[in-house]
A and B are shown apart, each in its own frame.
Chain A
Amino acid sequence: MPAKPEIKKVPRATFLGRAIAGNIGALTLGVKYFFDPNRITLLYPHEYIKLKQGYRGYIVLIFDKCISCASCARICPAKAMKMVSVNVKDKKLNKVMKKKYPVINYNRCIFCGLCVDVCPTEALYHVPYHDLVYLNMNDMILNLEQFQEQPEFVTSKEGVPVTYVFDEKRGLVKVRADESVKQEGQIGQTSGGENK
């Protein structure tokens, strides 16, 4: 069924309806939310979002799976990946040979995930972490060893993991990440900085 145009009209209101009903409607709604606020703010360092698997976060290399095809570096739109040649010992042939492996520059990475999607052996994968801290821009260029490690997740040290779940009445509701698995449906707001 194709779309069809439909003429709509801006709702008209009489002068009194506008002056009285309009004002009262707006004010009552304001008062309603004043007494029953629907907050979605994430109190960031104290809480952090525990991202789902599938989030396009930091990228980690599985060294053993890499076949040095350079597809990832070639498809990278931001030129954030480069292939470096290193001497590795090939287990099958049992000899040392020069192979190319990707390194990544997080100054440039735009987290489009094309490299992960194009990798023919699934040697790259996304970690659902997003907020990492580096001391300087030079540190954001990872070498081959750093590229293989899962990044240390600094926010989890002092923050409470939360997730947002969908709700019909409140849109997104913040729940503790560990609770969200346990009690489905039963939704309680996490205690923020201030309690009502």
Chain B
Amino acid sequence: MDMVTAAKVFSDIGWGLFHYIIFYPPVYQFIIIPGLVAALAVVVFMIWFERKAAARVQMRYGPLEISPRTGGAPQLIADLIRYTVQELIIPSAADFFAFIVAPNAMLILSLLPMVAVPMTSISEYWPIPMGYSLLVAVALSTLAPIFTVVMAWASNNKFSVLGGVRESFIVVAYELIAVISLLSVVPLLHTFNLVDIVNYQMSGIWLGLLNPIALLDLFIAILMSTSGFPFEIPDSETELVAGPFTEYSGLIYGINMGGGYIRRWAFSVLMTLVFLGGWAPYRPGPGILLGYFVPSLIVVVKATIVMAIMSFLRAVYGRYRLDQALSLAWEVLIPLAFAAFGISVAEAFFGVHP
């Protein structure tokens, strides 16, 4: 076999790998867009944006010195490198297996909902059959937070355990809100199919306009679930050093830090599809470019804007007390979520549904 043939065979295998594994929609969605790669890119941008936005409000510049011309944009890359090469300290009292596995499991499970969402209306590019995709995505989104509690328990540290307990309180509170507000579109449209939901919003009436209470509820639930301000309670540094992440260092700490943002990203994509019209003004055309990349880009941009708004809240709010957040969740937001569900039913009954 001469070199040319060998090269051809290898390139065929490579192409096969590329075509059938990377471009196999579930894998592609999990790894590239809107999964790991897109999420990481957005997270890096978002942490930078969060710091810059807060700095603008707060009479200062934020990250700047590393590259004054771009406003310090490479700062996060530098931070990432630092986390990567930092020494990884695992306390001898920690439960080694759980200590190492939990952050990674959390990262992976945070991205799992991405396998269940469509990025386009063309069935060729769907990762899974879309019949019950909303239900599947919602179900998958609830898996990750348990690993924060595992991390806290495995750290064997008082502050971690306290943080973990807080996290578990909050998980129980926000999950119901998020699930009910997401599912409140179901009675309106009589479908669990995310593609149908987005297609309905092609008419220009986003479901967020039809049911703003559900949108607001979901927005707050996402903030709660990803400990964003004003609900940055589990890792409240003033009394619990870093909450569940106290004992973590190096790369795993970086994963933990990004983990919350990635969870927020997954929820933002879901929120964009359900309430903010997905790829809405755009109608996916033929071909992979117009049929997949353009609509997915629109979704990514919309979800990024949602995340930017969430990040901006850091500059305006402090943090609630744990019991206040819980009472807000159980006494205000959950009734509101039921109300939103009722609004959807009423709208369907009175014929807003097409």
Residues of A whose CB lies within 8 Å of any CB of B are: 26-27, 29-30, 33-34, 37-41, 43, 192-194
Chain B interface residue count, CB cutoff 8 Å, equals: 16
Given that A193-B68, A194-B68, A194-B71 are contacting pairs, would A41 and B61 also be in contact in the complex, using a CB cutoff of 8 Å? yes
Contact A41 B60 (CB under 8 A): yes
For this complex, 17 residue pairs linking A to B, each with C-beta atoms less than 8 Å apart, are A26-B316, A26-B317, A30-B312, A30-B316, A37-B55, A37-B59, A38-B59, A39-B59, A40-B59, A41-B60, A192-B61, A192-B64, A193-B61, A193-B69, A193-B71, A194-B61, A194-B69
In the complex, whether B346 has a CB less than 8 A from a CB of chain A is no
Given contacts A34-B56, A193-B68, A194-B71, contact A27 B61 (CB under 8 A): no
Distance in angstroms from A22 CB to nearest chain B CB is: 11
Q: What B residues does A41 contact at CB under 8 A? A: 59-61
Is A194 touching B64 in the complex (CB atoms < 8 A)?
A: yes
A27/B316 in contact, CB under 8 A? yes
- By beta carbon, the residue of chain B nearest A30 is B316
A39 pairs with B60, CB closer than 8 A: yes
Instruction: Report if A30-B71 is in contact (Cβ < 8 Å); known contacts: A43-B64, A194-B64.
Output: no
Return B173 CB to nearest CB of chain A, in Å: 19
Complex-state Cα separation, A27 to B309, whole angstroms:
11
B317, A37: Cβ atoms closer than 8 Å: no
**Would you list which residues of chain B between 280 and 325 have a CB under 8 Å from chain A?**
312, 315-317
Within 8 A of A (CB), among B58-73: 59-61, 64-65, 68-69, 71
CB distance from A36 to the nearest CB of B (A): 9
- Bound CA span A41–B72, Å: 15
Q: Are A30 and B57 in contact (CB under 8 A)?
A: yes
Task: Collect the chain B residues with CB atoms within 8 Å of residue A27's CB.
Answer: 316
Closest B residue to A29 by beta carbon equals: B316
A187 and B297 CA atoms in complex are apart in Å by 44
Q: B152 near A: Cβ within 8 Å? A: no
Q: Give the chain B neighbours of A34 by CB distance below 8 A.
A: 53, 56-57, 312, 315
Evaluate contact between A33 and B61: CB separation under 8 angstroms. Answer: no
- Give A13 to B57 CA distance when docked, in angstroms: 26
Residues of A contacting B59 in the complex (Cβ-Cβ under 8 angstroms): 37-41
Q: Which residues of B contact A37 (CB under 8 A)?
A: 55-57, 59
Closest A residue to B332 by CB, please name it: A19
Given contacts A193-B64, A193-B65, 14 further A-B contacts (CB under 8 A): A30-B312, A33-B56, A33-B57, A38-B59, A39-B59, A39-B60, A41-B60, A43-B61, A192-B61, A192-B64, A193-B69, A194-B61, A194-B69, A194-B71
